[in-house]
Amino acid sequence: MRIGIDFGTTNSSVARAHRSGEVDLARFPSGGDLTDAYRSLLYLEQITELGRKTVKSWTGPEGIEHYLLAENKGRLIQSLKSFLASRSLKSTEVFGRRTRLEDLIARIVKDLREKAGRQFGMEIRSAVVGRPVHFVGAEDAAGDDYAQTRLAEAFRIAGFESVQFEMEPVAAAHYYESTLDHDELILIGDFGGGTSDFSLVQVGPTIRRRGRTPEDLLGNAGVGIAGDAFDAKIVRKLVSPALGAGTQLRSMDKILPVPIWYTRNWNAGIIFRC
Ligand SMILES: Nc1ncnc2c1ncn2[C@@H]1O[C@H](COP(=O)(O)OP(=O)(O)OP(=O)(O)O)[C@@H](O)[C@H]1O
Ligand SMILES: [Mg+2]
């Protein structure tokens, strides 16, 4: 039995492949329902308990629920995968404490590992993990290697003993290939939140029988432009102006621009409620 994990910029999924070839997805509670797409986000709050300050954190749908319910909003962190290739972003300040990007990602991956493990009735310690052809912001192969090493470190912190990486668009080809009764040369497009990846792959029964070789992957390419860029444009051009961005307000006889934090807080609330 093998575990496959797609740690996405926006959504993550965990699958279990049986020896028979049958595959099932982990399903996570979300707003009274179940979802196989776990939001790759982290929400942190500083809480004072018995006079001591502690930081509590939630991931995925629970993170969204706590964020929406909180009167004093804590720190909501999304699209962490997009920063893996950034050599200038090593860590961020979370309630006065420097926290590494790998530790933040590990917090989400740990929940995925434990929640999927409970559901599958097994301790998950190894997995095949997807990676984009090119990570967002990676300028060359060294940049992609750097990002993959950081992702592997996050999985190690989250309790994984062994992780094998597979290109996300190649992983996407597996299901299609299993339905084929003849060989084909296919172009796969994987349009995500952070990256859009494309691969030209030879697939079919012949390849399945003899086992895939690197030559079957004729070429692949990817760009760091995807859903996040599209969403940001919708928010900037349509949602923010409707909430007052770019307009003015009167404060103690002064005319001031509407502050950015005002529309930003509204945006996040509205997007999650939609
Ligand atoms: N219901 C929807 N209708 C249209 N677009 C959607 C919808 N839900 C999500 N999206 C878009 O899909 C994107 C997320 O896609 P997906 O879940 O495949 O990304 P991901 O796998 O997390 O990212 P990546 O593969 O880049 O790491 C979002 O950024 C959004 O733009
Ligand atoms: Mg994806």
| Beta carbons of 218 and 200 less than 8 angstroms apart | yes
Q: Whose CA is nearest to atom 8 of ligand 1?
A: 227
| Beta carbons of 54 and 94 less than 8 angstroms apart | no
| Beta carbons of 133 and 85 less than 8 angstroms apart | no
Q: How far apart are CA 91 and CA 102, in angstroms?
A: 8
Over the chain, what is the mean pLDDT? 89
List, for residues 85-127, the tens digit of each pLDDT value: 999 998 888 888 899 999 999 999 999 999 999 999 999 999 9
How many of the other CB atoms lie within 10 Å of CB of 212? Answer: 16
CB-based neighbours (< 5 A) of ligand 2, an ion: 8, 192
Q: What 3-state DSSP class applies to 59?
A: strand
Q: Whose CA is nearest to atom 9 of ligand 1?
A: 227
Residues pairing with 190 in the sheet: 197
| Beta carbons of 197 and 222 less than 8 angstroms apart | yes
pLDDT of residue 232: 87
What phi and psi, each to the nearest 5 degrees, are found at residue 168? -55, -45
Taking only Cα atoms into account, the Rg of the chain, rounded to an integer number of angstroms, comes to: 21
Q: Whose CA is nearest to atom 14 of ligand 1?
A: 193
**Encoded tokens for 205:** 């029964």
pLDDT band at 81 (very low <50, low <70, confident <90, very high): very high
pLDDT of residue 31: 83
Residue 64 Cα, ligand 1 centroid: separation in angstroms? 17
List, for residues 214-253, the tens digit of each pLDDT value: 788 898 888 888 888 898 898 888 888 887 777 888 888 8
Q: Is the CB of 263 under 6 A from ligand 1?
A: no
pLDDT over 90 for what percent of the chain? 51
| Beta carbons of 104 and 75 less than 8 angstroms apart | no
List, for residues 51-60, the tens digit of each pLDDT value: 898 999 999 9
Q: What is the mean pLDDT of residues 146-162?
A: 98
Top-confidence range, 66-70, 90-94, 188-192: 66-70
pTM of the model: 0.86
pLDDT of residue 250: 83
**Encoded tokens for 181:** 């009764």
Domain ranges of the chain: 2-186, 228-268
**Encoded tokens for 162:** 């062994």
Residue 10 Cα, ligand 1 centroid: separation in angstroms? 6
| Beta carbons of 236 and 228 less than 8 angstroms apart | no
pLDDT band at 262 (very low <50, low <70, confident <90, very high): low
Superfamily designation of domain 2-186: ATPase, nucleotide binding domain (3.30.420.40)
The pick from 5, 11, 196 for probing ligand 1's pocket by mutation, whose C-beta has the most ligand atoms within 8 angstroms, reads 11
